Amino acid sequence: MAEPYYITTAIAYPNGKPHIGHAYEAIAADVIARFQRQQGRDVRFQTGTDEHGLKMAQKARELGVTPSQLCDEMSQYFIDMCDTLHVSYDVFQRTTAPRHHAASQELWRRMAANGDLYLDRYEGWYSVRDEAYYEASEVVEGEGGIKLSPQGTPVEWTVEESWFFRLSRYQDKLLALLRDQPGFLQPESRRNEVIRFIEGGLRDLSVSRTSFDWGVKVPESHNHVMYVWVDALTNYLTGLGFPEDTTEMAKFWPADLHLIGKDIVRFHAVYWPAFLMSAGLPLPKCVFGHGFLLHRGEKMSKSLGNVVDPLELVARFGVDSLRYFLMREVSFGQDGSYSAEAIVTRCNAELANSFGNLAQRVLSQIFKNLDGRLPEQGELTELDNELGRSLHQAMHGTVPEAMAGLNFSVAIEEWMSQVFACNQFVDSQAPWALKKQGELARMETVLAVLFQCIRNLAIAIRPIIPTSADKLLDQMGIPVGERDQAALLDATWYARLTASGFRLGQPVGVFPRLELPVTAEH
C-alpha cells in the first residue's frame, strides 16, 4: 500500500484578494504534492482560508457587510486562485464551516481536560494585523510615538477577561523538540530563531477574547470566542475529520509537512506543538518556513501600489511560466524577488529556447524524416551511453533528491543542465546532416536516444510545469499512467511504444516566447 503523505499550506486571511505571496506558497505546496504523488505516495493536500478574528470582523464593518458575507465572497477568490494556478488540493478548508467549529471545540476540551486552561485577565499589546500578542519588551516606538510590533504593525493596549493556555508548562518539552529533532523546523535559521525565543522564557498565552464575537465559541464559556490562532491551527485536523476516528485521521495524522511563511513560524513551531502535546495528539513531522516574495526587492504594500494580482501574471505569461519562474528563481527558504522582466527573461531562455527548442527540433525531425514513425534505436555509441548515464543519474539522483529536500531551484538547475547536454548532443550529432549524408540508421538512433531523453525530462519537470509537460507527453504518445518516477525506471517503454505503431503528429510548441509589454509596470 502506498505510504501516506499529508501536506498543508497556511490558511490565508480572506480580508482582501490573494496576492503573489499567497500564490507562491500555494504553488510550492502543489509542486511538493505533485512530486510526492509521482514518487508513489498517497498524498493528501490541504489549503483553505482563516476566516475568524478581529481583522476579519473589522474589515467587514469597514465594508458595511456582515463577516460571513465577507468570508463567503472573499474565500471564493482564494479557491479561484488555486484553480487557476492548477493547485491540486484535495481539501479547501474554510474555518467558518460547522465541522471546523466542532473540531476546535474538541481540541479546546482536551486541553482543558489536561488542566492547561484557566480564566484570568489579559493586559498587554495586541496587533490586529498580525492577530498576535506581543511582550512589552518586543514593542517598539514608531513615527509619532505610535507603538509597533517587531513586524512593524500597529499594536494596541488590550485589557479583557481571557482564558489562558499554560504555555509555560511546555517550555522544556518544546526546547527538547526543537533541539533534538532538527527536522521538525526548517530551514535551520528559523530553528535557531525559535530556540532563542523559547529560551527567553514562555509566558502563558491568552487564548480567548470577549470584546467581539466573530470566532469559535469557547465551550461552556459562551461570552468568549477562541483566539483566532487556536482555531486556525486546528484546521489541519478538521480536514481529516477530527475528532471522529476517521480513516483519514488514522492515515494522514501527523502531517508530514506544514508549509508556511517565515512570519508565522512562532505559531506553528511553538504554540501548535504545545496545543497538540496538551491534547495528547502526535506532532507534525515538519514545519517549513519559506521566505517572502518581494517585488523588485521591495516589500509589497498597498501604499507602494506594487501589490500584484497573481491572476494578472497568469493572464500575461501563462500559468506554467509563473510556476517555473517562482520555483526556479528563488532559493526556497530565502526571500526572493520577482518582476515581469525577470519572468520573461528566465522563461524565454530556459523553457522556450532550451527545453522547448530541444523538443521542437527533435520531434519535427521525426515527423518530417520518418513520417512520424518512431525511430529505431540501433547500436549505441559511447557518446549515446554517456548522455543516457548522465540523464539517468540526474533523474534518479540529483533531481528527486533536491525536490524531496524542497530545494526546487537546485532541482531545476540540475534538470536544466541535462537539457543543455541534450541540446549539445543534437548539435554534435546533427541528425539533419546524417540524413543528407544518407546515414539513416545512425540518424534514427540519434533521434531515438533524444526522444527518450525528452520524455524523461518532461516527466521529471512535471511537478513544476504540469500542463506544459503533459501537453508534450501527450504529443509523444506517453500514456497518462506512465508519467511517474516508476516510469522513469522502466526500461521497456520505448520498445513497447514503438511496437504499438504510435505515430507522431506535426509537433506543436508548448513553450511560447513571452513578450514584455512596452510599458512594463511590474
- Which residues are near ligand MSP by CB under 6 A? 10-13, 21-22, 24-25, 50, 232-233, 235, 260-261, 263-264, 292-293, 300
- Of residues 15 and 36, the one with the C-beta less far from ligand MSP: 15
Determine the Cα–Cα distance for residues 442 and 445; give it in Å rounded to an integer: 5
Peptide bond into 14 cis (omega under 30): no
- Of residues 299 and 503, the one with the C-beta less far from ligand MSP: 299
- Closest CB to ligand MSP: residue number: 261
- Of residues 42 and 90, the one with the C-beta less far from ligand MSP: 90
Q: What is the DSSP letter of 280?
A: T
Smallest gap from residue 47 Cβ to ligand MSP (A) = 10
- Of residues 76 and 417, the one with the C-beta less far from ligand MSP: 76
Q: What is the DSSP letter of 9?
A: E
Beta bridge partners of 336: 293
What lies within 8 Å, CB to CB, of 98 at 6+ separation is none
Nearest to 450 by CA among 356, 361, 373: 361
- Of residues 50 and 329, the one with the C-beta less far from ligand MSP: 50
State the distance between the two ends of the chain, measured CA to CA, in whole angstroms.
47
- Of residues 87 and 362, the one with the C-beta less far from ligand MSP: 87
- Of residues 12 and 43, the one with the C-beta less far from ligand MSP: 12
Smallest gap from residue 424 Cβ to ligand MSP (A) = 37
Smallest gap from residue 277 Cβ to ligand MSP (A) = 17
Cell of 147: 507603538
Smallest gap from residue 474 Cβ to ligand MSP (A) = 33
- Of residues 127 and 452, the one with the C-beta less far from ligand MSP: 127
Smallest gap from residue 272 Cβ to ligand MSP (A) = 8
- Rounded (10°) angle between helices 340-347 and 319-329: 90
- Of residues 359 and 406, the one with the C-beta less far from ligand MSP: 406
- Rounded (10°) angle between helices 67-84 and 310-317: 30
Nearest to 183 by CA among 236, 247, 256, 234: 256
Beta bridge partners of 319: none
Smallest gap from residue 25 Cβ to ligand MSP (A) = 5
Smallest gap from residue 231 Cβ to ligand MSP (A) = 9
Determine the Cα–Cα distance for residues 364 and 367; give it in Å rounded to an integer: 5
373 close to 503: Cβ distance less than 8 angstroms: yes
CA 200, 112, 280, 272 torsion: positive or negative? negative
Determine the Cα–Cα distance for residues 173 and 176; give it in Å rounded to an integer: 5
Smallest gap from residue 71 Cβ to ligand MSP (A) = 12
Q: How many CA atoms lie within 13 A of 279 on its CB side?
A: 23
Smallest gap from residue 481 Cβ to ligand MSP (A) = 34
Determine the Cα–Cα distance for residues 334 and 46; give it in Å rounded to an integer: 23
